């Protein structure tokens, strides 16, 4: 049987005794193993023992060992090492490997058997036939022991590991105890790795380019409780990791270049200095610190940090997945795909969700889709459950936007079924909505007058969102309509958008709007609108609103102003135009100094009857 895992082809074979026995001296339904052989690529393991089948569990008592002390056999297990020409790889060195598994495996009750692994490598070396360099002086002693189902009792002890790549030795030690309750780490790593030399010594078929130097001199002897408690006199954490000239190129991804990166470790924090990074066409510079970095090993601890990031240009389109070619998916297909993706993400995605970071970021130019955002900045604090935005600002075309706010339940929304909530306050001197309406020739955003709009598609309001947005905008441009001194509240919840207490000056008068847009039925969005307007100009209103023109065509011939209160409710078609047969409306219209002019029927009556009033 062949299984592929992470690019490694494992070949499992057994021979020897593998029988269901009913011997009087053994429990029933027990499989016994005697000198069975398991092949993992080139590595051979002998297994002895038994597995008993219980009601909903397994009783296991096995030992295993590698009978051949050949380092080359173990090398075949490393990712990407087992190549087509592996038989021609020159390798030397001694290997000893043994272990055991003993106890009950019951996943429903969370019961796991004890296990242990003892690995030793001496005088290891290898070189691939088509690569110019090899790796020498490989040696390690590694012991992993888990005496019970309590994983907090696991110990990992690597008193030595070392290798030599070119002229550069790399060595260290590592020991871990109580990894769950209070991680206790004793480690030292020292040496220089030249990645260009590494790519000449080890198969890197899936990597287009790899180079740069990583210089490490790090010692850490610490318990997480001492770090959390501020007992820094009991903590020995010191050293530095320097990255210089790092270049990484993978297929179908932008090239990543780390010009410089310095990490300084001390008992209180890890200091990030001199980060100079380029990702494709994007640049990023930064500095900061991470407190309590050992929180990564403890499920009850939180990692804290403070970062400052700057970029002259960031192209987010380089990192967005391209959509599939062909027809656009239907609303039903999109909804089904989204549900499946969310389910898969919730089940399969494991993320680090114990952090509390402060961020001060500025980007001079940010590309997203067809939009260019300029002079953007954000200062705030983010945790998995909440983002507090002290202040942000941005320019989009002629528009400016600034504000502050709070967004809640972030990770539960991204990786579960939680509802994204929050409150955001926005402030703008000018906001032009036209660039968001449609794409014209040459990829530039264009807009038409409302009376000429065609072929707009319904926007589907996402599920599981409960956001409240407060807006204060001096001037809003929507097609050829200008709204001044706009204030109001926008609520996004239950797959609907609602406007509450929105007021603005336009068309020579004052307007107040309450209403909403509902996409619970994505194929037939609904809307409702309650408005109150004072002293609107008839001619301006007729030119700007096609709905007004169709409901009151006589307005084309009226000069003057009017006030109105009205309630609309109905549905929208596939072009976001109202379905007039479905509209329910209630209200009144009051003219102020209205005069009917150039209305042909009345003029003809006036001419025939010689009545000036009708003229």
| Radius of gyration, alpha carbons of the chain | 35
- pLDDT for position 182: 87
Report yes or no on 540 lying in a domain: no
CA nearest 517: which of 595, 461, 601, 579?
461
**Model pTM greater than 0.75?**
no
CB 552 within 8 Å of CB 589:
yes
Q: Virtual CA dihedral for 409, 414, 416, 417, nearest 10 degrees?
A: 70
How does pLDDT run across 334-385, given as a tens digit for each residue? 444 444 444 444 444 456 778 899 999 999 999 988 889 999 999 999 998 8
How does pLDDT run across 385-441, given as a tens digit for each residue? 899 999 999 999 899 999 999 999 988 888 788 899 999 999 999 988 777 665 444
Could you tell me if residue 251 is left (phi over 0), alpha (psi between -120 and 50 degrees) or otherwise beta? Answer: beta
Q: Where are the alpha helices (DSSP H) in 374-463?
A: 410-415
Domain limit, last residue, from 73, 99, 130 = 130
Structure tokens at 208: 């287009």
Averaged pLDDT for residues 167-180: 93
Claim to verify: residue 89 and residue 195 sit in the same structural domain: no
Structural domain containing residue 222: 150-322
Report yes or no on 300 lying in a domain: yes
Report yes or no on 235 lying in a domain: yes
Claim to verify: residue 114 and residue 238 sit in the same structural domain: no
How does pLDDT run across 515-545, given as a tens digit for each residue? 888 888 888 888 888 888 777 766 666 666 6
Relative to beta strand 386-396, strand 371-382 is antiparallel
Claim to verify: residue 318 and residue 199 sit in the same structural domain: yes
Confidence check: pLDDT of 601 > 90: no
Report yes or no on 462 lying in a domain: no
Q: What own/partner pairs with CB < 8 Å and gap ≥ 24 does 527-531 have? A: 527/568, 527/569, 527/570, 527/571, 527/572, 527/578, 528/567, 528/568, 528/569, 528/570, 529/567, 529/568, 529/569, 530/566, 530/567, 530/568, 531/564, 531/565, 531/566
For residue 53, what pLDDT band results from cuts at 50, 70 and 90?
confident
CB 251 within 8 Å of CB 208:
yes
Could you tell me if residue 539 is left (phi over 0), alpha (psi between -120 and 50 degrees) or otherwise beta? Answer: alpha
Claim to verify: residue 110 and residue 163 sit in the same structural domain: no
- Start-to-end Cα distance in the chain: 97
Claim to verify: residue 316 and residue 233 sit in the same structural domain: yes
Residues in the chain: 615
Q: Where are the alpha helices (DSSP H) in 54-118?
A: 71-75
Rounded to an integer, what distance in angstroms lies between the CA atom of residue 285 and that of residue 233? 33
Confidence check: pLDDT of 6 > 80: no
| Cβ neighbours for 79, distance < 8 A, ≥ 6 positions apart | 6, 7, 8
How does pLDDT run across 178-222, given as a tens digit for each residue? 988 888 999 999 999 999 999 999 988 777 788 999 999 999 998
């Amino acid at each position: 049987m062949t299984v592929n895992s992470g690019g490694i082809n494992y070949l499992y074979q057994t021979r020897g005794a593998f029988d269901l026995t009913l011997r009087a001296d053994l429990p029933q339904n027990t499989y016994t193993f005697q000198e069975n052989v398991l092949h993992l690529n080139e590595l051979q393991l002998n297994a002895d023992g038994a597995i008993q089948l219980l009601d909903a569990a397994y009783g296991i008592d096995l030992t295993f060992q590698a009978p051949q002390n050949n380092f080359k056999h173990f090398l075949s297990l490393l990712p990407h090492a087992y190549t087509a020409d592996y038989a021609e790889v020159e390798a030397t060195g001694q290997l000893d490997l043994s272990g055991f598994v003993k106890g009950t495996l019951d996943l429903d009750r969370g019961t796991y058997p004890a296990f242990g692994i003892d690995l030793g490598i001496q005088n290891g070396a290898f070189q691939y036939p088509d690569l110019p360099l090899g790796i020498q002086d490989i040696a390690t002693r590694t012991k992993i022991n888990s005496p019970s189902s309590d994983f907090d009792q696991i110990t990992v002890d690597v008193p030595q590991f070392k290798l030599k790549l070119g002229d550069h030795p790399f060595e260290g030690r590592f020991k871990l105890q109580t990894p769950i309750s209070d991680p206790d780490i004793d480690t030292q790593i020292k040496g220089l790795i030249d990645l260009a030399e590494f790519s000449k010594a080890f198969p890197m078929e899936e990597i287009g380019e790899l180079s740069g130097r990583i210089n490490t001199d790090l010692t850490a002897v610490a318990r997480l409780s001492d770090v959390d408690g501020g007992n820094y006199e009991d903590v020995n954490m010191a050293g530095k990791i320097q990255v210089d000239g790092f270049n990484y190129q993978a297929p179908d991804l932008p090239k990543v270049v780390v010009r410089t990166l310095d990490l300084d470790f001390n008992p209180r924090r890890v200091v990030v200095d001199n980060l100079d990074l380029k990702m494709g066409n994007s640049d990023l510079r930064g500095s900061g610190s991470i407190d309590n970095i050992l929180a990564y090993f403890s499920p009850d601890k939180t990692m804290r940090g403070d970062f400052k990031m700057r970029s002259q240009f960031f192209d987010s389109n380089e990192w967005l997945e391209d959509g599939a070619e062909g027809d656009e998916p239907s609303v039903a297909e999109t909804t089904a795909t989204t549900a499946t993706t969310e389910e898969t993400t919730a089940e399969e995605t494991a993320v680090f969700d114990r952090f509390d970071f402060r961020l001060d970021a500025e980007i001079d130019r940010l590309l997203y889709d067809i939009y260019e955002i300029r002079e953007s900045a954000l200062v705030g604090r983010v945790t998995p459950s909440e983002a507090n935005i002290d202040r942000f600002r941005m320019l989009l075309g002629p528009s400016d936007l600034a504000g502050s706010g709070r967004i809640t339940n972030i990770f539960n929304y991204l990786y579960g079924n939680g509802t994204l909530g929050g409150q955001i306050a926005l402030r703008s001197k000018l906001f032009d909505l036209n660039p968001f309406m449609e794409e014209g020739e040459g990829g530039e955003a264009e807009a038409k007058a409302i009376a000429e709009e065609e072929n707009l598609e319904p926007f589907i309001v996402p599920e599981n969102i409960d956001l409240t947005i407060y807006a204060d905008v001096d001037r809003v441009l929507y097609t050829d309509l200008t709204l001044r001194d706009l204030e109001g509240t926008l609520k996004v919840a239950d797959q609907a958008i609602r406007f509450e207490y929105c007021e603005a000056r336009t068309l020579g008068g004052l307007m107040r709007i309450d209403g909403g847009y509902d996409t619970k039925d994505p194929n037939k969005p609904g809307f409702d609108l309650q408005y109150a307007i004072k002293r609107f100009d008839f001619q301006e209103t007729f030119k700007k609103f096609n709905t007004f023109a169709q409901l009151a065509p006589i307005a084309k011939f009226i000069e003057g102003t009017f006030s109105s209160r009205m309630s609309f409710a109905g549905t929208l078609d596939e072009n976001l135009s109202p379905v007039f047969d479905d509209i329910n409306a209630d209200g009144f219209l009051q003219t102020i100094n209205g005069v009917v002019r150039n209305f042909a029927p009345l003029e003809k009556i006036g001419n025939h009857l010689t009545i000036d009033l009708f003229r």
